[in-house]
């Protein structure tokens, strides 16, 4: 096995570049953060890093309940529960939105109408209609918008595409994705919308495939050349839950693409043992496995020993700033997440996830979590064979729970 390392940035995306409003090349860009708790703490740390590098100025924080200096770790910037008012008073040129899923579209449009460019956390919206409302509104406002699929900033993505173009694994036959994660019962009580499909009449769709393991879906679609809504011709879903929640915690999806490929992603939050999620590109003469959280790639092909590569990664907020200053292509503009949003929509419209019978799961009292015995192997097998759980013989995944949706792109 050989290992090489690369940190060179990926080549510019083939999408046309729309010149953004000029941003001074040397001045820090004032940015506000909407949602600084929970996952927002990661964005806060990233903003501090970029502020120390002189690239941004953290101009304000939007939270329903203001942060304390102890929470923030020092003197606070301006705060408000009203994102529009905060943008007005700070004059911020960009906003990072990391708020509950049902709020994404309205907050994105609030920022866009004030001319603020966006980094919008995934999933971008809880339904395809809300996604279109957001994407169309952003386009009308002529602001830049980056969707926060950090895995698509990995330099491994263009490197894998290049390997495929070089015929390293022959003709691509399909793409699999696997995510076997562990989440305790408290995870589903972290917020009022956690583990919900709907809340107060609004869509949430906080399932395993649409939120915690959404990167597996988006990355598999990207490596299957299926990023835009019109690239999808059919979607099959199998949704189940071991936990006492509305949404799915053990599920799989299979997408049929306009090119005739199958893309299958299997996920669980009830794994026996936590594993690194990955995507595998299957070819007629080999396979490429991508552990997307680690930016690690394994190439296995006929007539060669295994080859392993470590890649660098471009931070998506840095890419947005680069776009504003130089016109560099955005790595994840909204239109390249259309296929992902077709998957979200299929899951939203599918029958509610089936509650697994008590014989199908066990509770580990010491860890306060539920486990589905054998699910780790099923997740792996689904990614390897592009099969759904019911096709692999899982007794808790009868075919009657499967929904098949033909997708219209008109």
Rounded to whole angstroms, the Cα distance separating 290 from 158 reads 12
Rounded to whole angstroms, the Cα distance separating 195 from 210 reads 11
pTM: 0.92
What mean pLDDT is reported for the chain?
A: 92
Rounded to whole angstroms, the Cα distance separating 237 from 249 reads 13
Rounded to whole angstroms, the Cα distance separating 295 from 7 reads 11
CA torsion angle 203 261 259 290 (round to 10): 80
- Stated as kind and residue range, the H or E segment containing 107 is helix 104-112
Tokens found for residue 113? 């109408």
φ and ψ of 381, to 5 deg: -65, -35
Rounded to whole angstroms, the Cα distance separating 4 from 212 reads 30
- Residues of the chain with pLDDT > 70, as a percent, come to 91
Q: Residue 233: is its pLDDT beyond 70? A: yes
Output the pLDDT for position 397. Answer: 86
- Residues 385-394 pLDDT 10s: 999 999 999 9
Q: Residue 405 — very low, low, confident or very high, per pLDDT cuts 50/70/90? A: low
Lowest model confidence (mean pLDDT) among 11-15, 28-32, 188-192: 11-15
Structural domains of the chain sorted by starting position, each given as residue range(s) with its CATH number in brackets: 21-143 (3.40.50.720), 155-311+334-406 (3.30.360.10)
Rounded to whole angstroms, the Cα distance separating 124 from 131 reads 7
**b/e map of 38-76 (b: 16 or more CB within 10 Å)?**
eebeebbebbeebeeeebbbbbbbbbeeebeeeebeeee
- Residues of the chain with pLDDT > 90, as a percent, come to 90
Rounded to whole angstroms, the Cα distance separating 150 from 39 reads 13
User: What are the residues whose beta carbons fall under 8 Å from the beta carbon of 271, sequence distance 6 or more?
Assistant: 180, 181, 182, 371, 372, 375, 376, 379
Tokens found for residue 107? 């907050």
Mean pLDDT of 98-115: 97
CB 176 within 8 A of CB 292: no
């Amino acid at each position: 096995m050989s290992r090489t390392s690369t940190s060179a940035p990926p080549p510019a995306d083939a999408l046309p570049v729309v010149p953004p409003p000029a941003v001074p090349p040397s001045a820090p860009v004032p940015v506000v953060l909407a949602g600084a708790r929970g996952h927002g703490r990661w964005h806060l740390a990233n903003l501090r890093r970029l502020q120390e590098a002189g690239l941004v100025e953290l101009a304000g924080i939007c939270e329903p309940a203001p942060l304390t200096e102890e929470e923030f770790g020092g003197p606070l910037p301006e705060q408000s529960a009203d994102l529009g008012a905060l943008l007005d008073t700070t004059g911020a040129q960009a906003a990072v939105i990391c708020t509950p899923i049902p709020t994404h579209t309205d907050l994105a449009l609030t920022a866009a109408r004030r001319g603020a460019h966006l980094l919008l956390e995934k999933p971008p919206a809880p339904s395809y209609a809300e996604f279109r409302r957001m994407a169309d509104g952003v386009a009308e406002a002529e602001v830049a918008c980056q969707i926060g699929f950090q895995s698509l900033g990995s330099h491994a993505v263009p490197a894998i595409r290049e390997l495929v173009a070089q015929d390293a694994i022959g003709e691509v036959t399909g793409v699999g994705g696997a995510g076997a994660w562990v989440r305790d019962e408290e995870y589903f009580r972290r917020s009022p919308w956690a583990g919900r499909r709907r809340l107060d009449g609004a869509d949430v769709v906080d399932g395993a495939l649409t939120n915690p393991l959404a990167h597996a879906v988006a990355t598999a679609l990207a490596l299957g050349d299926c990023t835009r809504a019109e690239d999808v011709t059919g979607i099959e879903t199998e949704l189940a839950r071991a936990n006492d929640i509305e949404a799915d915690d053990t599920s799989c999806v299979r997408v049929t693409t306009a090119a005739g490929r199958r893309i299958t992603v299997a996920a669980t939050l009830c794994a026996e043992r936590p594993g690194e999620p990955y995507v595998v590109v299957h070819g007629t003469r080999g396979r490429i496995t991508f552990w997307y959280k680690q930016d690690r790639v394994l190439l296995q092909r006929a007539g060669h020993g295994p080859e392993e590569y470590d890649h660098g990664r471009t931070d998506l907020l840095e890419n947005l700033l680069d776009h504003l200053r130089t016109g560099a292509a955005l790595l994840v503009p909204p239109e390249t997440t259309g296929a992902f949003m077709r998957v979200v929509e299929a899951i939203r419209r599918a029958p509610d996830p089936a509650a697994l019978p008590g014989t199908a799961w066990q509770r580990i009292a010491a860890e306060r979590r539920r486990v589905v015995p054998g699910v780790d192997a099923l997740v792996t097998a689904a990614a390897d064979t592009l099969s759904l759980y019911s096709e692999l013989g899982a007794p808790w995944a009868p075919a009657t729970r499967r929904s098949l949706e033909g997708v219209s792109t008109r």
